[in-house]
Amino acid sequence: MIIRTFIATSFAALCATSALAQDFQPESPECIAPANPGGGWDFTCRQVGKTLQDLGLIPGTMQVVNMAGGSGGVAFAEVVNKRSDDQDLIVAASSATATRLAQGAFPGNTADDVRWLASVGADYGVIAVAADSEIDDLPELMEIIRNDPTSIAIGGGSAVGGWDHLKVLMAAQKAGVEDVRRVKYIAFEGGGEAVTQLLGGSLQAFTGDLSEAHGFMASGDIRVIALLAPERLEGEYADLPTAKEQGIDAVGANWRGFYVPGDTSDEAYDYWASAVSEMYASDEWQTVMQTNGLAPLDLQGDEFDAFVKSSITEIEDLSREIGIIR
């Protein structure tokens, strides 16, 4: 299971914040967003930076630097090769980062070249059908796929082998599809284009994230048949059935978080982890999460490191099984 939710605020980290501040204070806090302005990584840097500033958890202003290229690879190489001991730097990351690392897309670099800091939330995956589809639930969809994998075309907004593709393959694997390589996935430039094709009848199902599905749910165009979360969410999403409760133990979320350079000192690392932890527990950040459709994912330090490394291993195994890597 690639994504597990740990909802536990680190009390020790919160208590340590003031003490750590005496040992380390960033002189020029900086966050690299490994993409152009807009999108998830940019959102992560800017929203977290602003909230850290507003709460007084960092001195001064967080500088956000956009460094696009290679789906995060350019930024990763910059940090590893040129800024490995920059104590003032944090870098936005997500499930897409783990996927690229798992598939060897950052040549010469591995997950061990950086220190994984903390998560700040997760955008859970969904599998949906058109509102007027005759498919009622996820087990029914998977039964059709088991009997004839090519009879169902599923579209998403990532490339073949990308996160949207892997999410539906995880569900198929857990549903007992013997050869998930036969699952028919069609890649589009974005989730909106995939939904357009779903509504036009070219697709029978859509795989994406809850945040991008929200508008189409509200308009009544699509019907979510499975939320890839460990349990039902609260509030407006409470009626969405999880894959797990339907007997298919598939959980997948596009987590959002940070890494820091590999030679970051323990004092600086603990400072940043504590600052993010205290920010996560604040009312201000909870409001940001609710406004932007983020689900709880609260991990720092060793827990987050273990979580990312486990995710990479499982994505690598799945990617090898479907032939994306050898």
Average pLDDT, the chain: 88
Domain made up of 11-122+253-321: CATH architecture:
3-Layer(aba) Sandwich (3.40)
Regarding predicted confidence, which is higher, 234 or 268?
A: 268
Burial (CB count <10 Å: 0-12, 13-18, 19+), residue 65: middle
Token digits of residue 308: 């990312």
HSE-CB of 167 using CA atoms within 13 angstroms: 33
Using CA atoms, how far apart are residues 255 and 304, in angstroms rounded to an integer? Answer: 11
Q: Residue 239: how many CB atoms within 10 A of its CB?
A: 9
pTM > 0.75: yes or no: no
Question: What is the predicted pLDDT for the residue at 322?
Answer: 72
Stretch 31-41: mean pLDDT: 85
DSSP type of residue 235:
G
Q: 308 in helix, strand or coil?
A: helix
Phi/psi at 16 (nearest 5 deg)? -80, -10
Among 163, 122, 123, smallest CA distance to 299 is for: 122
21: confidence class by pLDDT, cuts 50, 70, 90: very low
Q: What is the pLDDT averaged over residues 111-137?
A: 96
Q: Residue 89 — very low, low, confident or very high, per pLDDT cuts 50/70/90?
A: very high
How many other C-beta atoms are found inside a 10 Å radius of the C-beta of residue 15? 12
Task: Give the model's pLDDT for residue 7.
Answer: 34
pLDDT band at 49 (very low <50, low <70, confident <90, very high): very high
The ranges assigned to domains in the chain are 11-122+253-321, 125-246
**Amino acid found at 279:** M
More confident residue, 158 or 119: 119
The pLDDT value recorded for residue 64 is 97
Between CA 254 and CA 158 the distance in angstroms is: 12
Fold match between 11-122+253-321 and 125-246?
yes
Q: What pLDDT, on the 0 to 100 scale, is given for residue 71?
A: 79
Token look-up 């796929």 returns 145
What's the rounded Cα separation, in Å, for the pair 86 and 291?
33
Q: Interior CA angle at 31 toward 29 and 37, to 5°?
A: 135
Q: Report the pLDDT value the prediction gives residue 22, as an integer from 0 to 100.
A: 52
pLDDT confidence of residue 141: 98
Structure-model confidence comparison of residues 318 and 249, the more confident one = 249
Task: Map residue 33 onto helix, strand or coil.
Answer: strand
Task: Give the three-class secondary structure for 137.
Answer: coil
The whole-angstrom separation of Cα 258 and Cα 277 is 12
Average pLDDT over residues 120-146: 96
CA 71/CA 98 separation, integer angstroms: 11
Q: What is the pLDDT of residue 69?
A: 84
- Burial code of 167-205, b = ≥16 C-beta within 10 A, e = fewer? bbbbbbbbbebeebeebbbebbeebeebbbebbeeebbb
Average pLDDT over residues 219-247: 93
Whole-number Å distance between alpha carbons of 71 and 57: 30
- Express each pLDDT in 282-307 by its tens digit: 999 999 998 777 888 999 999 999 99
Instruction: Convert the pLDDT of each residue in 55-70 to its tens digit.
Output: 999 999 999 999 988 8
Identity of the residue numbered 240: L
Which architecture does CATH list for 125-246? 3-Layer(aba) Sandwich (3.40)
Name which residue leads in pLDDT, 139 or 11. Answer: 139
Lowest mean pLDDT segment, chosen from 7-21, 151-165, 208-222:
7-21
Burial class of residue 263 (count of CB atoms within 10 Å of its CB; 0-12, 13-18, 19+): middle
DSSP assignments along 54-122, one per residue: HTT-SSS--EEEE--SGGGHHHHHHHHHH-TT-TTEEEEEEHHHHHHHHTT-STT--GGGEEEEEEEEE
Per mean pLDDT, which range of 11-25, 34-48, 204-218, 256-270 is the poorest? 11-25
